[in-house]
């Protein structure tokens, strides 16, 4: 077997092993999971998530997921906690402690301190009979039969299991809170994903110039308007209403067909009934219309009146495409 085949076989084996372990987690769920979700949901405080080693990295990821889905969370490293960071935990906070073995020295020191402060504690552990499992108020079983590591040592399958349980917690809390796409956009205003959820057509078209000509505009006036406004298009407008559109392509086609250009008017060149979109529509809706009809610009309307143009380049610039 060559090297590439060996690599692919190992990769496939790893994925299948971890997938099987994740699937088994569903069978390990107990009422403790539901009770833990309800505890966090009803809490007036935050969720403090702690761990050591690779579990600490997983804790950081779960913190990020909870924060982005409406549940305030803070990471506390288990080693730092017993050297001063224990002050992070406030009276109403719920603590989640992550540990595969549940018996590490740091955990054995930290857990009694948390219990003494009367904070409720949730354990995510692969050993429910461990010190952590015995001391926790609620146990979320993250047991895995085998690490993907061929020596069964490096945390691989076990950390994947911890992460999946954290995702399950976050999704359950998200649903209980009725967390919507608008809420998600509020917490992700700077990213492309957030922009898909809150950016509207007017946010883009208002930054562009507003090319327009009347029905009787000459060919020269049309060319000048398209050139000056730099959007490759102009609306043909009558009484503030869109009656047509002229694009660069329309001009080229007309010029190739006509021998006498002097008498051409906008009404002779324009395309009737152009695609248009309301200014308060979502920018992602504009993207879908452009993709569906293979066009680069959309005329924008408000209350039946022409108010601008949104261009494909606007969507690319904002990361919508």
Angle at 240 (CA atoms; ends 246, 249), nearest 5 degrees: 5
Instruction: Indicate the DSSP class of residue 272.
Output: E
User: 287 is written with which tokens?
Assistant: 């993207």
Was 77 annotated as part of a binding site? yes
Read off the DSSP letter of residue 182: H
Radius of gyration of the chain (CA): 30
Helix axes 219-229, 248-257, angle to 10 degrees: 150
Query: Could you report the per-residue pLDDT of 55-82, keeping only the tens digit for each?
Result: 999 999 999 999 988 899 999 999 888 8
Cβ within 8 Å of residue 242, ≥6 positions away: 235, 236, 274, 276, 299, 301, 306
Of 36-40, 189-193, 262-266, which one has max mean pLDDT?
36-40
pTM of the model: 0.67
**Which residues have CB under 8 Å from 200's CB, separation 6+?**
279, 280, 281, 282, 283
| Mean pLDDT of all residues in 144-160 | 92
Q: Which domains, ranges and CATH numbers included, belong to the chain?
A: 3-179 (3.40.50.10490), 198-317 (3.10.580.10)
Query: What pLDDT is recorded for position 191?
Result: 59
* Residues 110/81, Cβ–Cβ less than 8 Å: yes
> Does 196 score more than 70 pLDDT?
no
DSSP state, residue 270: P
Q: What's the CA gap between 125 and 132, in Å, rounded?
A: 8
Are 272 and 250 spatial neighbours (Cβ–Cβ below 8 Å)? Answer: no
Nearest to 186 by CA among 70, 61, 283, 316: 70
Average pLDDT, the chain: 90
pLDDT exceeds 60 at position 285: yes
- Strand 121-125 and strand 47-51: the pairing is unpaired
Close Cβ partners of 222 (under 8 Å, ≥ 6 residues apart) = 213, 234, 246, 251, 266, 269
Is a pLDDT exceeding 70 seen at residue 106? Answer: yes
Residue 262 phi, psi dihedral angles, 5° rounding: -65, -30
Say which range, 25-34, 110-119, 179-188, has the weakest mean pLDDT: 179-188
């Amino acid at each position: 077997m060559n090297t590439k085949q060996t690599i692919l076989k190992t990769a496939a084996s790893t994925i299948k092993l971890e997938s099987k372990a994740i699937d088994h987690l569903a069978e390990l769920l107990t009422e403790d999971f539901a009770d833990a979700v309800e505890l966090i949901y009803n809490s007036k405080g935050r969720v403090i998530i702690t761990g050591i080693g690779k579990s600490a990295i997983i804790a950081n990821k779960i913190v990020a997921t909870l924060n982005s889905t409406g549940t305030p969370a803070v990471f506390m490293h288990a080693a730092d906690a017993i050297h001063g960071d224990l002050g992070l935990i406030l009276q109403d906070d719920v603590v989640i402690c992550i540990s595969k073995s549940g018996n590490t020295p740091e955990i054995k020191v930290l857990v009694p301190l948390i219990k003494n402060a009367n904070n409720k504690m949730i354990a995510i552990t692969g050993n429910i009979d461990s010190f952590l499992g015995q001391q926790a108020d609620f146990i979320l079983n993250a047991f895995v039969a085998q690490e993907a590591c061929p020596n069964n040592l490096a945390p691989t399958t076990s950390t994947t299991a911890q992460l999946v349980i954290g995702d399950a917690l976050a999704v359950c809390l998200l649903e209980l809170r009725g967390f919507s796409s608008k809420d998600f956009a509020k917490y992700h205003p700077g990213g492309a994903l957030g922009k898909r959820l809150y950016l509207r057509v007017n946010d883009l078209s208002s930054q562009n110039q507003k090319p327009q000509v009347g029905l009787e505009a000459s060919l020269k006036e049309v060319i000048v308007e398209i050139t000056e406004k730099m959007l490759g298009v102009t609306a043909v407008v009558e009484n503030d209403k869109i009656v047509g559109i002229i694009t660069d392509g329309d001009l080229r086609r007309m010029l190739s067909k006509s021998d006498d250009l002097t008498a051409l008017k906008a009404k002779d060149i324009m395309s009737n009934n152009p695609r248009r979109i309301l200014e308060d529509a979502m920018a992602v809706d504009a993207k879908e219309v452009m993709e569906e009809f293979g066009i680069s610009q959309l005329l924008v309307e408000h209350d039946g009146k022409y108010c601008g143009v949104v261009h494909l380049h606007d969507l690319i610039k904002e990361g919508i495409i």
